């Protein structure tokens, strides 16, 4: 995946907070601007601040665009390291490259869209908003998720949605081993093969409301080449919700 | 009456007294299989699962009681108790943070969750700490508005579960504490049983009501010290480098863990010994994993000194701190502050004889109660039951905690002045001797009356 702007990535462009009238684009080149200055600038955006930001030369930097709480759009032109857009609120952050571990960790709201692949723990503990990964996500995608929606166009690695509490994880490709281990109330949808289900995670019926929910999620993620009816649904059997000694071997 | 008769009567009298204390001739209790051990085997055979409880380690391990201070005499002079100053303030987190904490006393309140404790109990901790100018800490359940409102200095914990974690509370906090482990269960996660998952607790944790809530033992988005460095960096970026960042570890390998925490960029290291409390943990974990607080302090200080970071990265030590003497001792061994959890709960009113009737109803007694996880606390502290929680007055509880903290500070000052110190931080290992070989080896101070520090070649003249 190249570091240039992906022409296909338009997530959030139509429903984002910024209208076409906001023409001012603030460009920050991380080759000559300290990261701290970029993030402080993003945190300081208020009513009359720039609504569109472009970040050049991230070169794998960690915590790029972390902690935003504003209705702005940020295009990151290249690969980033750990925790890109961590704890995001309201903003649309598009990464035109790959992400290191913990992309959009603990996202609260807004949208984070990754053109390439994401390393492990993408969307970890996210409590709201939408995370879209156009490529693959590695292990523990959606670990401990608490309300976020995650849509992965490719596949996810092992232990994805581990202890997932709330929210929805949509995987258009395959899922690795131990999907949804110790899951609570999160909903999982996988189109491809599931290598194995974790403790207390079972397949459930895919009914019409679920198909409608999926259609909406795929649409919001800008994915138009996957039929919602092709997915299978997984969730908690709720057998381990209250400890019983005869279940000790299941943990 | 013969001499034989009177001897017999005397013997009967002695045996009657002993019998009242539970002793009868010929009934010999095994030291190995005492009544508690037998009870536990029977309980395990009946229930088929380990025992979970609150509180900290109950077994005797080498502790600060085995250390004594050498007051001033000929070679050094003491300070006048009510005239000459003995300062107590401490700055935490001035290594990287733009807004370090300035506390009036070197005793902080350790992290305890809303969930484990009632809302009013958390409020009382904030009230008590604020009255004496020190900090309190959130826990594994997020920050409540009551807690923020009543705590002048509030440390916000980032735990593996991340229940309720959000950037607004991070920015509302005065410091951030990344919890790697705790002394009661280094390497363990948590559990909050279903009966304590009320509507409010469930909502704060994004969980269904009434289920057994498990907290993970590892963080979901980082593993190891190199990742931790990046995680700390992210938290600094999110909070614009304003907040001090603490790293809390359970005492196991304190030299390496403290060195790695410093390397990862911590402003403050919180070191919790095995006597540290918990709201709910397996008894086998509480009693058998981790090392005593006293044994952990010197290796931790070694790590800081070897990195030239002693007093630049502050060390806060918790785990069985009960009195001003314990505070003075832990500071003398090199800590910058002490932290209390169980003692603070007791000061609020936990295990008070005032609630004896309530304790009897749940088959326990004041002084023994440790089933904090069950949520049936007669004192209304470790509960989510509204009726029980209403028994607890947060103003009165806060006042009691403030009184207790003030008492501890006065006690520590009494000792420090006797040792000729104008600040509690001027206490040093040379002010101490040990009462046991174990304490001498762990605290690295000489056995009282000798020049012997086990494990060293050093000869110390006292």
Burial letters for B23-48: b for 16+ Cβ neighbours within 10 Å, e otherwise? Answer: eeeeeeeeeeeeeeeeeeeeeeeeee
Write out chain B residues lying below 8 Å of A249, CB-based. none
% of chain A exceeding 90 in pLDDT: 83
pLDDT band at A5 (very low <50, low <70, confident <90, very high): very low
What is the structure's pLDDT at A183? 96
pLDDT at B16 > cutoff 90: no
Residue A16 lies in a domain: no
What the block records as the tokens of B454 is: 């086990």
Please name the residue that has the structure tokens 């990046």: B230
Condensed to tens digits (0 to 9), the pLDDT of residues B223-234 reads 999 999 999 999
Which CATH number is B190's domain given? 3.20.20.70
Task: Among A63, A67, A242, select the one facing B194 at the smallest CB separation.
Answer: A242
Distances (CA, A) of B325 to B44, B64, B91, B328: 39, 8, 21, 5
Residue A4 lies in a domain: no
* B167/A182 touch (CB, cutoff 8 Å), yes or no: no
Residue A185 lies in a domain: yes
Alpha-carbon gap: A165 to the closest alpha carbon of chain B (Å): 6
Look at residues B242, B250, B241, B295 and name the one whose alpha carbon lies nearest to residue B270.
B250
Residue A214 lies in a domain: yes
What is the structure's pLDDT at A237? 95
Condensed to tens digits (0 to 9), the pLDDT of residues A120-156 reads 999 999 999 999 999 999 999 999 999 999 999 999 9
Task: Among B220, B239, B240, select the one facing A125 at the smallest CB separation.
Answer: B220
Is residue A155 within 8 Å of residue A173, measured between CB atoms? yes
**DSSP characters for B302-353?**
HHHHHTT-BTTBEEEEESS--SHHHHHHHHHTT-SEEEESHHHHHHHTTT-G
* Mean local confidence (pLDDT), B380-384: 95
Count of domains observed in chain A = 1
Task: Among B166, B237, B238, select the one facing A127 at the smallest CB separation.
Answer: B166
Looking at B56-199, which runs of residues are DSSP E strands?
67-69, 90-92, 101-103, 107-109, 136-137, 154-158, 175-179, 190-192
Residue A111 lies in a domain: yes
pLDDT at A69 > cutoff 50: yes
Domain extent at residue A121: 27-239
Q: Which of A34, A37, A58, A66 to mutate to test the interface with B (most CBs of B within 10 A)?
A: A66
What is the structure's pLDDT at A15? 56
Count of domains observed in chain B = 1
Alpha-carbon gap: A231 to the closest alpha carbon of chain B (Å): 26
Task: Compute the Cα dihedral for B75, B81, B87, B88 and give only its sign.
Answer: positive
* Mean local confidence (pLDDT), A193-205: 97
* Mean local confidence (pLDDT), B31-37: 95
What is the structure's pLDDT at B456? 85
* Mean local confidence (pLDDT), B422-441: 98
Phi, psi of B18 (to 5 degrees): -65, -35
Write out chain B residues lying below 8 Å of A86, CB-based. 234, 238
* Mean local confidence (pLDDT), B11-23: 71
Condensed to tens digits (0 to 9), the pLDDT of residues B219-276 reads 999 999 999 999 999 999 999 999 999 999 999 999 999 999 999 999 999 999 999 9
* B221/A102 touch (CB, cutoff 8 Å), yes or no: yes
Residue B381 lies in a domain: yes
Residue B143 lies in a domain: yes
Residue A13 lies in a domain: no
Condensed to tens digits (0 to 9), the pLDDT of residues B304-360 reads 999 999 999 999 999 999 999 999 999 999 999 999 999 999 999 999 999 999 999
Look at residues A198, A196, A136 and name the one whose alpha carbon lies nearest to residue A172.
A136
Residue A118 lies in a domain: yes
Please name the residue that has the structure tokens 């314990």: B326
Count of pairs with CB atoms under 8 A, one residue in A, one in B? 107
Write out chain A residues lying below 8 Å of B162, CB-based. 106, 124-125, 144, 146
pLDDT at B19 > cutoff 90: no
Alpha-carbon gap: A166 to the closest alpha carbon of chain B (Å): 7
Write out chain A residues lying below 8 Å of B97, CB-based. none
Condensed to tens digits (0 to 9), the pLDDT of residues A78-135 reads 999 999 999 999 999 999 999 999 999 999 999 999 999 999 999 999 999 999 999 9
pLDDT band at A197 (very low <50, low <70, confident <90, very high): very high
Distances (CA, A) of B9 to B12, B18, B19, B398: 5, 14, 15, 55
Residue A19 lies in a domain: no
Query: Which positions in chain A have a beta carbon within 8 angstroms of at least one beta carbon in chain B?
Result: 35-36, 39-40, 43, 62-63, 66-67, 69, 81-83, 86-87, 89, 101-102, 105-106, 108, 121, 124-125, 127, 140, 143-144, 146-147, 162-163, 165-166, 182, 184-185, 241-243, 245, 248
pLDDT at B35 > cutoff 60: yes
pLDDT at A14 > cutoff 70: no
Which CATH number is A231's domain given? 2.160.20.60
Is residue B271 within 8 Å of residue B297, measured between CB atoms? yes
Alpha-carbon gap: A184 to the closest alpha carbon of chain B (Å): 7
What the block records as the tokens of B42 is: 């029977």
Beta bridge mates, A27: A54
> What mean pLDDT value characterizes chain B?
94
Is residue B379 within 8 Å of residue B361, measured between CB atoms? no
Alpha-carbon gap: A225 to the closest alpha carbon of chain B (Å): 31
* Mean local confidence (pLDDT), B433-460: 92
Residue B74 lies in a domain: yes
Task: Among A144, A162, A242, select the one facing B211 at the smallest CB separation.
Answer: A242
Give the number of other CB atoms < 10 A from CB of residue A219. 12
Is residue B138 within 8 Å of residue B111, measured between CB atoms? yes
Domain extent at residue B166: 64-427
What is the structure's pLDDT at B209? 86
* B49/A89 touch (CB, cutoff 8 Å), yes or no: no
Chain A residue with Cα closest to B204: A146
């Amino acid at each position: 995946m190249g570091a240039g702007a992906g022409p296909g990535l338009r997530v959030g462009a139509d429903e984002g907070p910024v209208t076409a009238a906001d023409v001012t684009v603030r460009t920050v080149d991380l080759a000559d601007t300290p990261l701290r200055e970029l993030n402080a600038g993003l945190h300081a955006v208020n009513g009359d601040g720039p609504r569109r930001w472009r970040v050049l030369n991230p070169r794998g930097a960690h915590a790029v665009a972390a902690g935003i709480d504003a209705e702005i759009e940020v295009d990151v032109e290249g690969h980033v390291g750990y925790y890109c857009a961590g704890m995001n609120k309201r903003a649309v952050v598009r990464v035109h490259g790959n992400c290191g571990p913990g992309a959009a960790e603990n996202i609260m709201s807004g949208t984070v869209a990754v053109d390439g692949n994401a390393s492990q723990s993408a969307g970890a503990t996210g409590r709201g908003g939408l995370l879209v990964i156009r490529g693959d996500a590695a292990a523990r995608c959606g670990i401990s998720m608490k309300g976020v929606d995650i849509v992965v166009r490719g596949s996810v690695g092992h232990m994805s949605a581990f202890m997932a509490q709330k929210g929805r994880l949509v995987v258009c490709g395959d899922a690795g081993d131990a999907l949804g281990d110790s899951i609570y109330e999160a909903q999982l949808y996988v189109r491809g093969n599931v290598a194995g289900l974790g403790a207390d995670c079972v397949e459930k019926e895919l009914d019409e409301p679920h198909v409608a929910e999926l259609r909406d999620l795929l649409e919001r993620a800008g994915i138009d080449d996957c039929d919602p009816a092709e997915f299978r649904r997984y969730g908690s059997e709720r057998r381990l919700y209250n400890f019983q000694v005869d279940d000790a071997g299941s943990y | 009456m013969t001499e034989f008769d009177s001897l017999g009567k005397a013997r009967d009298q002695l045996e009657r007294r002993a019998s009242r204390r539970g002793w009868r001739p010929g009934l010999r209790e095994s030291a190995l299989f005492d009544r508690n051990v037998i009870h536990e085997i029977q309980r395990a055979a009946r229930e088929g699962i380990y025992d979970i409880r609150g509180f900290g380690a109950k077994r005797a391990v080498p502790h600060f009681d085995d250390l004594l201070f050498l007051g001033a005499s000929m070679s050094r002079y003491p300070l006048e108790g009510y005239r000459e100053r003995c300062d107590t303030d401490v700055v935490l987190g001035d290594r990287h943070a733009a807004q370090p904490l300035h506390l009036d006393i070197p005793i902080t309140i350790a992290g305890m969750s809303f969930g484990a404790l009632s809302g009013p109990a958390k409020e009382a901790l904030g009230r008590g700490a604020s009255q004496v100018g020190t900090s309190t800490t959130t826990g594994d359940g997020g920050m409540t508005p009551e807690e923020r409102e009543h705590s002048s200095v509030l440390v916000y914990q980032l735990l593996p579960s991340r229940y309720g974690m959000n950037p607004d509370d991070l920015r509302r906090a005065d410091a951030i504490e990344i919890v790697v482990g705790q002394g009661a269960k280094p390497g363990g996660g948590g559990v909050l049983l279903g009966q304590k998952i009320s509507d409010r607790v469930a909502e704060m944790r994004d969980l269904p009501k009434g289920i057994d809530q498990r907290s993970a033992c590892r963080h979901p988005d980082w593993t190891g010290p190199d990742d931790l460095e990046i995680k700390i960096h992210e938290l600094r970026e999110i909070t614009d480098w304003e907040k001090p960042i603490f790293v809390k570890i359970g005492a196991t390998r304190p030299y390496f863990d403290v060195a790695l925490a410093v390397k990862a960029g911590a402003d403050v290291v919180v070191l919790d010994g095995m006597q540290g409390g918990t709201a709910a943990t397996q008894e086998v974990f509480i009693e058998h994993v981790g090392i005593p607080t006293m044994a952990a302090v010197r290796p931790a200080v070694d790590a800081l000194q070897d990195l030239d970071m002693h007093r630049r990265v502050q060390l806060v030590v918790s785990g069985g701190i009960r009195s001003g003497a314990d505070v003075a001792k832990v500071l003398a061994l090199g800590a910058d502050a002490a932290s209390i959890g169980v003692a603070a709960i007791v000061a609020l009113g936990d295990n008070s004889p005032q609630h004896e009737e309530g304790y009897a109803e749940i088959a326990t007694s004041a002084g023994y109660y440790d089933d904090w996880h069950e949520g049936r606390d007669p004192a209304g502290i470790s509960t989510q039951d509204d009726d029980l929680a209403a028994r607890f007055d947060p103003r009165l509880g806060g006042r009691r905690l403030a009184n207790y903290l003030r008492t501890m500070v006065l006690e520590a000052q009494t000792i420090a002045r006797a040792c000729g110190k104008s600040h509690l931080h001027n206490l040093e290992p040379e002010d101490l001797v040990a009462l046991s070989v174990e304490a001498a080896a762990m605290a690295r101070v000489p056995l009282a009356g000798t020049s012997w520090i086990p494990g060293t070649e050093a000869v110390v003249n006292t």
